[in-house]
Amino acid sequence: MVIQEQMSIQRKLEILSDAAKYDVACTSSGVDRKGNGSSMGNSVGCGICHTFSADGRCISLLKILYTNECIFDCKYCANRSSNDVVRASFTPEEVSELTMEFYRRNYIEGLFLSSGILVSPNHTMELILQALRLLREVHHFNGYIHCKAIPGADPELIELLGWYADRMSVNLELPTSESLKELAPHKSRKNILKPIRQIQLRRESNREFLGLPDKSITPKKIITGHEDGDIKEIITTKTGLVPYQRNSMIKRNYVPAGQSTQMIIGATKESDYQIMSVSEALYDNFNLKRVFYSAFMNVNQDSRLPVTTDGPPLLREHRLYQADWLLRFYGFQTKELLDENHPNFNVFLDPKCDWALRHLELFPVEVNKADYFTLLRVPGIGTNSAQRIVAARKSAVLGFHDLKRLGIVLKRAVYFITCNGMTMYPIKIEENFITRQLLALKDQLPLGIDKDITYRQLSLFDDASFQPEQRITLKLANI
Amino acid sequence: MDEKKIFLCDNSIDGIFTAIYLAWSSGFGHANVKLEEKCEKGSFANLELFSEYIKVNTDLTLSVKVSRSIQSKISEEAFQMVCRVALSDYIGKADLIYRFLIKGFHIGGGILEHLSDEVVNKIFKINKNVGFEAHHLLGFVRFSEQENGLLFSSIEPKNNVLSLIAPHFADRLPKERFIIYDKKRNMAALHIPGKQWILAEVPDLKIGDFRAFTDQEDEYRDLWKIFFKHIVIKERINPKLQRNNLPLRFRGDMTEFEPDIEE
């Protein structure tokens, strides 16, 4: 390795944004904070996208690694210690200046600081802390900061960092402890869950102290669906909180935008059912704001990992996000969507359509009478549409014409609803018929990856990578 | 047949509200009046036969009266919506707002739930459209620093959203002097530290005057372009998705889409 003493800031930014691009959570949402009239910055609850990169992903924060040097050797990671890549590190001054100047020009909404592990977890966390303190205390930056907590670092450091950040995240990396052992031998799942738990407890105590309402006060469900020993252990162990380290200068709350995590999808053998069960357990037990899924790419061409010559499993990632939404906003549970006999999502249909087709006995639903949560379960009706229907039917009996005017997309919903006891046109409520109709809709596949799939659908010769879809092809053949 | 009375008004919130006041109090009857706002270029739409045209001079006291009645007799939310519709580029918005208010004053705050009503629905849709564009621009505005420390930005929005986005930037950058210039309408939002931001018509502003960057500004523009280029995951490149999320019409004023001049 060549040690370059004087690397230009341009070169550093090239290396360290390149190294950070695989991190998924570039959101700036979760906290509403007005400007204070004297220093730069404010924050908007719904988040603001500042631009979209060529891969179509939102850029909201300056997403960089503090350093891409790393003592760990996780097999899937481009920055693993055994890779021969150019290494670089920022200084706290460089990070804070870049953030301030970018923010001033309205390029970004704030900073997303992650890092490889330099020397030790503690050493790295101290550097991150230094950069954040510089931003908050010297530059009086009042914008959004998302930073990673590094598993294995001192609880005191994690405690302190939380007072400077808006959102913190600890990467779960892989869904189960077995795959973690296999691919990231230096990391242990319990070590990852511990800081998540610590941040959760401190947030709750801080919110309680301030008298803010907290959804997490409701009784907790311990482990839903899938038995997860690690989560159970962390939740049930009594962890004493680290004594309050709040600096009297800090007038912010503890991690006000909550915490998130991310998992790599497709590097190991877990089924969608296992992945969704883990997400559900994380939402229920750790009060996470988001779980992000990252389609695996074999960046290291490592022979122990699956090949991704066809590109990353984007469609699978898309389906997992759809299901994730169903868990968080639609009142679904993992076990309704998937089970042992049906462990993976349908490639051709979104999870909600798939669920509805297996529960045709619950349909059709009468739009003028069904309650909000029943409406939410109709394919094609989302939270906005359901709210609009509930509001509009107070003053009028709704017909299909009115639904159209409300902006409700009927192409899917039409098979599952009635207005005044009538469907829009005579429809056979029968699985094969509706499946065929739904499959004919183009929007079942997300933008940009649709072409690929039609090609595959037409292919007569299924190659090996077509494996998980076999069940569906069989089902299609039945029609 | 009665002659239709057409009230011609300025294309501004105050202009439209003044016309609403006059049309309402004229006693011609709702069915016999129509409101028409000036197009953005300053002219009016096609003239109609068998109608009498009445020119409306914007009068702030009348406009305030209308604002106050909407806030007290319908709701604050409805008022905000009507204002956003008045800022939209929808042709015929003045008449639409007039029709909405007839229903609104009759029903009261509950009018916002009458989504299946054609007029209410139209108002909702335009309001959403304007809101989206304003929200997009909160992110897409790009400032460049001038030699004297002034931050300059130019935009070209479909709707007249300057007054919707300026408060956000005044709140965010309280210690900065900045200009957000609407190229299409020759208007600008101006901000000076410690003062309220203002909206001004600036017919003789030349963008060319703001293109001389300092070395530091050039450096940060380059750094931003470097970041923008390197954050892309090559295996996931998806121009369709990018275009869907960030329509081409915004890109002209964004630093990262500027063609590189060097080499």
3-state secondary structure of A26: coil
Predicted confidence at residue A323, as pLDDT, reads 94
- Residue A114 to chain B, least CA–CA distance (Å): 14
Mean of pLDDT values over A96-125: 94
Q: Does residue A465 register a pLDDT over 50?
A: no
pLDDT per residue as tens digits for the range A235-248: 777 666 666 666 66
Contact yes or no for B135 and A48 at CB 8 A? yes
Q: How many residues does chain A have?
A: 479
- Chain A residues in contact with B143 by the CB 8 A cut-off are 104-106
Mean of pLDDT values over A8-18: 93
Predicted confidence at residue A217, as pLDDT, reads 45
Contact yes or no for A35 and B171 at CB 8 A? yes
Mean of pLDDT values over A343-362: 90
* Residue to substitute from A395, A398, A419, A443, interface B, most B β-carbons within 10 A: A395
pLDDT band at A227 (very low <50, low <70, confident <90, very high): low
* Spatial separation of the C-alpha atoms in residues A10 and A457, rounded to whole Å: 45
* Residue to substitute from A106, A111, A390, A398, interface B, most B β-carbons within 10 A: A106
Contact yes or no for A10 and B113 at CB 8 A? no
Q: Does residue B133 register a pLDDT over 90?
A: yes
**In this structure, what are the phi and psi dihedrals at residue A292, rounded to the nearest 5 degrees?**
-105, 150
Percent of chain A scoring above 70 in pLDDT: 85
- Chain B residues in contact with A143 by the CB 8 A cut-off are 172
Chain B residue with minimum CA distance to A63: B231
Predicted confidence at residue A220, as pLDDT, reads 52
Mean of pLDDT values over A191-205: 89
Dihedral, A377, A378, A380, A382 alpha carbons, nearest 10: -40
Across the interface, of A105, A314, A392, the residue whose CB is closest to B143 is: A105
Predicted confidence at residue A409, as pLDDT, reads 84
Residue B167 contacts A where some CB pair is shorter than 8 Å: no
Inter-residue contact A114 to A147 (CB < 8 Å): yes
Q: Which of A227-236, A244-253, A389-398 has the highest mean pLDDT?
A: A389-398
Predicted confidence at residue A460, as pLDDT, reads 43
Q: Does residue A177 register a pLDDT over 80?
A: yes
Chain B residue with minimum CA distance to A26: B231
- Chain A residues in contact with B173 by the CB 8 A cut-off are 35, 40, 104
Can you read off the two tokens belonging to residue A87? 């290494």
- Chain A residues in contact with B228 by the CB 8 A cut-off are 51, 53, 59
* Spatial separation of the C-alpha atoms in residues B205 and B188, rounded to whole Å: 9
Give me the residues of B, 95-134, that contact A with CB < 8 A: 110, 112-118, 121, 125
Contact yes or no for A49 and B139 at CB 8 A? yes
pLDDT band at A297 (very low <50, low <70, confident <90, very high): confident
- Residue B38 to chain A, least CA–CA distance (Å): 28
Give me the amino acid identity at A476. L
* Spatial separation of the C-alpha atoms in residues A9 and A94, rounded to whole Å: 8
- Residue A246 to chain B, least CA–CA distance (Å): 26
Percent of chain A scoring above 90 in pLDDT: 44
Lowest mean pLDDT among A142-146, A373-377, A475-479, B76-80: A475-479
- Chain B residues in contact with A308 by the CB 8 A cut-off are 235
Inter-residue contact A169 to A25 (CB < 8 Å): yes
Q: Which CATH class is domain A9-337?
A: alpha beta
Q: Does residue B44 register a pLDDT over 90?
A: no
Lowest mean pLDDT among A27-36, A287-296, B83-92, B168-177: A27-36
- Residue A22 to chain B, least CA–CA distance (Å): 7
Predicted confidence at residue A445, as pLDDT, reads 64
pLDDT per residue as tens digits for the range A205-226: 888 888 877 655 444 555 554 5
* Spatial separation of the C-alpha atoms in residues A297 and A320, rounded to whole Å: 17
b/e map A334-357, b = 16+ CB within 10 Å? bebbbeeeebbbbbbbbbbbbbbb
Size of interface A-B (CB pairs under 8 A): 173
- Chain A residues in contact with B239 by the CB 8 A cut-off are 54, 56, 448
Q: How many CA atoms lie within 13 A of A420 on its CB side?
A: 10
* Residue to substitute from A105, A397, A449, interface B, most B β-carbons within 10 A: A105
Q: Which of A95, A22, A445, A118 is nearest to B234 (CA)?
A: A22
- Residue A407 to chain B, least CA–CA distance (Å): 9
**In this structure, what are the phi and psi dihedrals at residue A39, rounded to the nearest 5 degrees?**
-110, 165
What integer best gives the mean pLDDT of chain A? 84
Lowest mean pLDDT among A78-87, A91-100, A233-242, A289-298: A233-242
- Chain A residues in contact with B254 by the CB 8 A cut-off are 51
- Residue B59 to chain A, least CA–CA distance (Å): 34
Q: Does residue A230 register a pLDDT over 60?
A: yes
Lowest mean pLDDT among A24-33, A363-372, A404-413, B234-243: A24-33
C-alpha radius of gyration, chain A, whole number: 24
- Residue B25 to chain A, least CA–CA distance (Å): 29
Q: What is the ipTM of this complex?
A: 0.92
Which residue has better confidence, A455 or A298? A298
What's the first-to-final CA gap in chain B, in angstroms? 72
Name, in order, each residue with C-beta under 8 angstroms of A49's C-beta and a sequence gap of 6 or more: A58, A59, A60, B136, B139, B245
pLDDT band at A474 (very low <50, low <70, confident <90, very high): very low
Mean of pLDDT values over B160-189: 94
The number of beta carbons lying within 10 Å of the beta carbon of residue A50 is 24
- Chain B residues in contact with A398 by the CB 8 A cut-off are 116
- Chain A residues in contact with B139 by the CB 8 A cut-off are 48-51, 60, 106, 109
DSSP string computed for A163-214: TT-SEEE---BSSSHHHHHHH-TT--HHHHHHHHHHHHHHHHHHHHHHT---
Domain positions in chain A are 9-337, 351-478
- Chain B residues in contact with A46 by the CB 8 A cut-off are 135
The 8-class DSSP code of residue A81 comes to: T
Contact yes or no for A13 and B226 at CB 8 A? yes
pLDDT band at A284 (very low <50, low <70, confident <90, very high): confident
Predicted confidence at residue A60, as pLDDT, reads 94
Angle in degrees, 0-180, between the axes of helices A189-210 and A155-162, rounded to the nearest 10: 40
The number of beta carbons lying within 10 Å of the beta carbon of residue B127 is 20
- Chain A residues in contact with B174 by the CB 8 A cut-off are 35-40
Q: How many CA atoms lie within 13 A of A475 on its CB side?
A: 19
Predicted confidence at residue A247, as pLDDT, reads 64
- Residue A17 to chain B, least CA–CA distance (Å): 6
Contact yes or no for B116 and A391 at CB 8 A? no
Contact yes or no for A398 and B236 at CB 8 A? no
Inter-residue contact B132 to B161 (CB < 8 Å): no
Contact yes or no for B116 and A396 at CB 8 A? yes
Q: Does residue A202 register a pLDDT over 70?
A: yes
Contact yes or no for B139 and A56 at CB 8 A? no
- Chain A residues in contact with B227 by the CB 8 A cut-off are 13, 17, 62, 64
pLDDT per residue as tens digits for the range B56-114: 999 999 999 999 999 999 999 999 999 999 999 998 999 999 999 999 999 998 899 88
Name, in order, each residue with C-beta under 8 angstroms of A312's C-beta and a sequence gap of 6 or more: A266, A295, A296, A297, B235, B236
Can you read off the two tokens belonging to residue A212? 């803010």
pLDDT band at A63 (very low <50, low <70, confident <90, very high): very high
Domain positions in chain B are 4-133, 141-257
Residue B26 contacts A where some CB pair is shorter than 8 Å: no
Residue B215 contacts A where some CB pair is shorter than 8 Å: no
Inter-residue contact B126 to B90 (CB < 8 Å): yes
Predicted confidence at residue A468, as pLDDT, reads 43
List the Cα angle B182/B185/B186 in 5-degree steps.
70
* Spatial separation of the C-alpha atoms in residues B244 and A56, rounded to whole Å: 8
- Chain B residues in contact with A94 by the CB 8 A cut-off are none
Predicted confidence at residue A352, as pLDDT, reads 93
